[in-house]
Structure 1
Amino acid sequence: GVAFANYNMWLLLFVIVTSGVLVVTPSATRWFFGHFRDHVSEPEIKFLFVLLFFLGGLAAAANSEAVLTAYLLGLVMASALHGNRRVVEHMRSTVFTMLTPFYFLKAGSYVLLPALWLNLGITVILFLVKMVTKVVGVYPTCLAFGLRGKVAKYTTGMMSTGLTFGTISALFGLSHGYINQTQYTVLVAVVIGSAVIPTMVAQAFFRPQVVIPPETQAVEATPAAGRAEEAQARAH
């Protein structure tokens, strides 16, 4: 991003405003949720979308990728949203239903299937390189944190997929003329393959058996029961 950024006033404005928003957002979110939570109109969701669209529009004006600001906001707001499970669930359902499909449809619309077949060899080579770097980076880290056996292998397969940031980088390069459509097709195929194939292998062969203690099940069932009662109360 640093190597290909457009260094102008818009970028400077984007960096300054985004940095300021990220600093004040956690405390502002806690204050807003404390004063306006549990309203039927759900102002918490509107507040989050205002931040997302504002920073996303500013990123687009600075010739950057709007989706990157969503990740930055997610990082700084994790602690503020930790105790607001209902807001997180509603945001997740809204984003996965209305926003995420359009992004991946746009990214997939530039893929050329004939180019993928003609460049199958380099695609396989890049896929293997990505798998080697994934294993070298994740598996020793799992061992360092005390994970062994199937758990370490399962974690290695599931983590560091690079799906979203890989497609973002490829789409950025294509839209700004740094790569052509054939190169974009190869990169996206490698990114998707390196995310899907290890996940399928990990789920099929290395998925550990997790036994949830009864007391944990009771704790997890309590919020669900509370949400069901709340929904019934709203219906009446």
Structure 2
Amino acid sequence: MLCKNWFKPKTSKFDDKGFEQIWPTYGAHITLTEVGKALLHKSVNLQKPDISDIDVERFIAKSLSFPIKFGRDTCRVMSQPKERYEEIKKQIASAYPIIHERVVGLYLAFLEHKCKYGNELERAIYVNMTIMDLVQRLLEKRCVSFVGPLDDYLLLQGRKTLANFFDVGTVDEKPPLLLKDVLSYDEIKLSAFLSVSSHTEFLNNGRRFNCGIIEADKSKIEIEGVIIGIIGGRFEAEDVMEWQDIMI
């Protein structure tokens, strides 16, 4: 009888009805401060990509100058025939970042908070920044890779090592981990809400270990579609990133 009690399923008082509710609720709206409204207004007239401005040859040259080696070249524009360039132009022009509308409010609040209460290094970075500037920074300044319990990172400059990201954006920061060049822990958390999408053609079925091998039988795969690059939350470092809001 004692053994049975040991393995008896534990009961929980957790109510899962909340998962069935629609979020955000109908009629809910984002409340912005006057500073937030002013910041948002600066990005109202943002110019969308124009296919007539896209030069595929220049795009390829820029890709070839990328400092990090690609895993495979089969998926790169440089490997495509010139007959496809007009379609490729459309795909390049279709690339844009995606965030939930409520994240817009979060990004604006972040900028306002850092400009008011940030340290000298932070205020120098954020003082004239718009929400589009922040999105661009979250894309440009992120590490190529950032993994493991000790924050093993790889920078565009090729540096790969372990370091203390807690110092980024403080008086203790040291090269190459400077706030002007890399994201802080606060920004890494914000960047998890940010995805990038574009129209594309598919090489294969996209299985986990597809290795970029081209599928000869196109009837087995989707020929084209929309691809979205997403990153996940990180819980390795205590008191920073998603750990702050989710771990109990």
TM-score scaled by length of structure 1: 0.22
> Where is the helix percentage greater, Structure 1 or Structure 2?
1
TM-score scaled by length of structure 2: 0.21
The structure that has the greater radius of gyration is 2
> Where is the strand percentage greater, Structure 1 or Structure 2?
2
